[in-house]
Each structure stands twice: as C-alpha cells, then as structure tokens.
Chain A
C-alpha cells in the first residue's frame, strides 16, 4: 500500500486515502485529512465528531450509525456535512482513523 508523509510522520494508506490501521492514528493524520478533504479550519466541532467516532469505535468495534452520531454529538446530518463536505463516512471516519466503510455504498 502507498505511504504519505506529513509533518515528519509517515502513514500507510489505501487507494481511497484511509489509514491502514486505527492504531497508527495521530494528530498529524487529522491535519493531513483536513487538507485532503478541503476543510478550511478545524474547529471544536470537528474534534468533537472525531472524538465521538473514536470512542464509539474503541468501545463497540464498529463505526456508529449516522443517527447515533447525530444524537451523541448533537449535530444534525446537515451540519455534519457542513463540517465534513465528504460526509460522515468518507470525511469524518477517515479523519478519525476508522476503517473504510464497506457494503453497498
């Protein structure tokens, strides 16, 4: 798999730019994804979303359903799209270091 360098760190990613392993996530990764996803500025709301996704993934082993993400963060789906233009899967999950969404997407 290809590697990308950012902020002095090297990340292994797949062809869609998802990180190879949740364990290799760090704060530089967030900055890297921020640029790739066209996000101007990281706000507390971005961090809160990432935090919720990571906590849920550590606890349950899966990414939360969109309804759960909305309920826990308090952000409606529309607002999640405003934060992450690619949406909760390709944007927020990628930034949080979760595995790439699967199924008939």
Chain B
C-alpha cells in the first residue's frame, strides 16, 4: 500500500469518519472539516507534474493476484490531468458548498460522505490500471452520484432523476464490464498497459469489435452522449455544488477518460473513428439546440454540458486518425487530441464557475427561471463578471480559454476534410457543417445565459427574494475558476508543457518517445480559416440571439415532440413495467392446472423432442416374454377400470374403481412372482381406499364435476401426449441392455453373506437398508404431518381468544 493508494482511499476513509465527527461538532460547518482533504490531495497530485513530464509512476497493491486483479495505480499525463481536475475543482466545490448549504437545514453528514465517496471513486477510475478495479470505481461513481442526485429525497423530481441516471449509467457500466471481460479473454490480462501494448495483436481478434462497442456504450452513457444524454438534465435536481462538480467537471468526463484511455487500442479500427465522431457531433448539435429552448438556467447548462462533451468526444474521434500516421510532419490530427485535452480542461473551469454562478443566483433570488430574471448586473456585479467570463469562454470568444480550444476544434474539423482515410475527405465536410452550426447555437445559448440574466429590465416583483450580492464565500470558488479561464486564455502555454503534453502523449503513445513534440498554443496565429469561421459564428449567433423569441416557439413546440428521447425513455420504462406485469398475469394464472399443463407440455417437448432429435427411438421386440391369457385378462380389467375412472361421474365410483385397479395390479405381482409386493400392494390398496372414503366423505357434495369432460381439450391432448411419450421411452429403453443385471450377485450372496433366503427382504433390510431407513422416516414425517394438520388449528384458537 503506497502513498498513492492511500491518496485514493483517503476521501473514502473521511467519508466513514464524517458521520461520527458530525455528531460531535455541531457548531462548525462540516464542510470545513472536509475541505483539507481535497486540498491536500490537490497539492499531492501537483507534486507529480515533474514526474509525468518524463514518464509515468506505477504502484501496485496485490488484491486478488490469483485472477490478475490488482489495485495497480498509474499516474501518467492523462490520469494526472483528471486527478488535478477532480481534486482541484473538488476543493473549490467543497468550499462553495460550505456557504451554499445551510448548517442547520441540511443533512451535511450525508452530503459530505457521499461527496467524498464520489471523490474516491473518481480518483480510482482515472488512476486505476486494472480493468476490474476501474469497473469497481466506475460503479461507485454511479452509486454515489445516484445518492447525490437524490439528496433531497423528499422531492419527487429528485428521486426520478436519481433513478433515471442510475438506470442509464449502470446499464452502460454493465455493458462496459462485458467489454472489459472480452479484453481479458483476448489478452489474458486485466492490466490496461499490457492490453494497450498488445493492441496490434488484438485488433485482428473476432472479439475486438464487440468489446469496442460495449466499452463505447459504457463511455457514452456516462458522458451523456445522444441518445443516453437524457439522464443529465434530470440530474440537475441535485444541489448545485453537486451539479457543478459531478455533472460538469468530473463524472461526465469519466466516459471521455475511458475513450481517451483506450484510443491507442481501438483507434486502429475505422468503426471507432466514425462512431465517436458521429455520436460526438450529433450530441454537440443536439445539446446546443436543446439548450436554447430551456428556461431554467440549470437546464441550459445541463444541455450545454452535453453539447460540450459531444465536442470533446468528436475531437477524440478525429484524433484517432493520428494513430495511423507515423510521420509527425503529416500528423495534423494530433491537434485534435491536443484540442480535446485542452477543451476538457477549459470546460471543467468555465462550466464549474457557471454552475456556481447559477447556484448563487438561485440562492440570492430564489429562482433560476430566465423569464423572471433580468437586470441583475447592477445588483450583483461580481457574479455578473464571473458569468460574463464563463459564458464568453463557453461561446468561444477571445481572450478566454474557450476561444483557443474552439479554434483548435474548428481547425481539426477543417483538417478532417483533408484526411485521406476511411472516406473522411468526402464525409468529413458534413461533420464540419454540423460542428459549425452547433457552435452558432452554442454562441446563442451562451448569450442567452448572460444577457437574459444580467441585462434588461429588472423584474423584482417576480422574484421570491430580494436580490443582493452574494457573500464572499460563495463568490470565491467561481472567481478562482473565472480567473483561471481568463489566465489560461491569455497564457495558455503555462499548462501546455507540464499538463497537456504528458496527457496527449499518453493518448498517442507514438509521441511518447518523440522528443521534438511540443505543444504551443498561440493566442493569435494569423487570419486562418478557423478564425473566419469564428467571425461567422459570432455574426450568425448574434442574429439568432436577437431573433430568439421568434424561432424559439418553433423548436419548443414542433420539432422536438417527435424527437424527444426522454419521453421515449419514460414510455419504454412504463411499457417494460406494464408488459412484464401483463406477462406475469397471463402466465401465472394461479391455477394449479395451468402450471401442470406447462410442466406436462414442457415434459413432452423436451423428452419427445430429445428422443427424436438424438435418434434414440428404438423399437425392437426381440427379448420379449410370451404373453399368457391371464395377462390379457388382467390388462383388459385394468383398461376397463381406467376408462371407468376417467369417465365416471361420481367420486365413489372412481374410488372403488381405483381400488379394483390396485387389486388387479397386485394380482399382476402374483403372476410376476413377487409375493412380498403383492402382499404389500393388497394391504396398502385397502388402507388407501379406506382413507379416500374417509376424506371424500367429508367433502361437499358433487356439484362442480357435473360438467361433462370435454373430449378435445388441452388436457386431452396433453394426456395423450404424455402417454405416448412415456410409452415410447419405455419401449425404447426396454431393449437397450448395455450391461448385465447386477441381480446375480444378490442371488448368489443372499444366504452366504446376509443369512437370509428372501431376497427382497434381505435387499430391503441388509444390502440396501439405507433406503429403507429413510423410507420409514418418510412415513413418520407423513403421519406427523397429518397429525399436525388436523390437530393444530392456530387460526381457530386465535378466533376464540379474540372472542373472549
């Protein structure tokens, strides 16, 4: 157990301790006690920067070595970037939540325990090298996120959102587990590094594509890609710090992480490239269009998160092309990876600050509805500044960091049209157009967020609270993030060498050995096509914003109704519930006769089917004994009694006929020279007939058997089927004597070994006395059962007690 392992486990340990401390420290806000944890971790992970610039750090802790499942932690560029985001934004969110959540109103112990579990889970996901451990932490993020979304569990919407996100992300998680197991089958290893090293060999395997699709399903569900994005808007029912942390900066990027992590392996296939690029751009467009129609600030941000995740996903898809070029000078597609990593970082900063800004507005005005907000710039100047930086960075305007990554995004799309691989040069233009349109909508909703909230007329009469500027504590975290947005926007190269470069190198392994590879992000690099596109985006976006109220009804009312995926989820769930309910109600009728029919039918199908399919129907009549007249007579008697039983209309007749049949069988035993059996059969038949008469004497009179048994019913067919099946099996089994009977041994040894002459009895009590032992036990149990059933009448006694 190294320090790194302890670092991952630390928040979890704190999560265990929090509820205990919470009881004793009612005076202090629990958040203050939690705050040091992410800060310490952040500083600790900062110390890895020099190491990851030159290579990766690996620590192993043996967990289940027998199955190759070890808690191996690897810190390379990609993991470190994520770890820094998780701990850094984690610290800010914890600080923010101290001021956001009231000390006495909320169950803080739950909140911080869930949050810390989530932090451990997230660190575990990004730092694990072992697939199974990764999956473990992956599910832990789903569970802790479920708990956090449902934090205000008394609200119906919260519970709905939590359940929805759980269903979708766990579905994806399970798919991903399937993919991981396939990877293990192909490589016999759970270690990601070993699997990536064997990528060339795996890519020819038949399981390669299924594994890829399953892992992508996991990544898409977690990262809210179309059509799995529907859980994210509903997850906005969580407290705002949670939304800021989980649903903008960290958890939704877990899918991005997995895609980036497996890029060196799966990028060898064009399916990977196209799937990610198409799903990414679709998500980008879908999210940005939907964001413009929402009235709730948080919903706009949720859709904008979806859209931005789609953007990063697209970039990773395009970046997959870079693995197909060895010559670096040709390799303009690494730029896409750089852009993805850079935008990942940027998005975490500005989206975090925007969520916190929305939280402040919600906190100070009591609403998040943009129709009721407006003109807050005067009242909340600092919040407005933060919002300005965040929204303009999101829209992709200089001098903020969003501008740089958006430029790189557009350039990557432009490069795509030049890609001479997989028909990308012909179809890539479509992606470029979609990306451009989505960027226009992105610009539009960013403007909506800022201008509708902070400019225009003030509608104080619509606000539940009298608005005022937020306290310092609430403002600090978003201010730090906004400062980062601005700072990185102006000095992007500060993070280029220490953080982005190692991250890109771990996504594109061929660069790792290349000493010449350096990222340089220029704020100004001449009038490029990308810049011109940005100008176009700004112009078109402004027009769209100005005409927003004209076209908004169109997309809210007409278009989405057919395309609303959330609706089909709800419908699907209710169909699933109703369908299974209906299925159960039709199949499980509660009638024993129905179940008996099922069983008999299954028996016929299975036995007769296997008899025919395995060609074991074997009707030979060679070793038969001769049949005498007595046999015929007895068989005829049995047949007659049988028909009588089936068609008799009175119970007494049936019972007597049953007795007659039993006696005939005992005569059969006599003929077959089985005196013991004949004796026993006679007496048992007598006793059972007596018992039948006793029992049936107490039954109510016949009334329901009056109905004539229909001849052609399911029952008839099943009975005939069973009869035929058993007969065929018996006849087929009759002649197949593979071995001599063992009875000769008994004949020889009954007297010699067991000192008896009645073979049957000697077998019963001596050779195979064990069976007899338990048959007597069965009898004893039966008698005690009858005794208790008749004597023990608890309900009656209780009634008596109640009457007294």
Q: Is the pairing of A and B real?
A: no
Listed in ascending order, the chain A residues whose CB lies under 8 Å from chain B are: none
Listed in ascending order, the chain B residues whose CB lies under 8 Å from chain A are: none
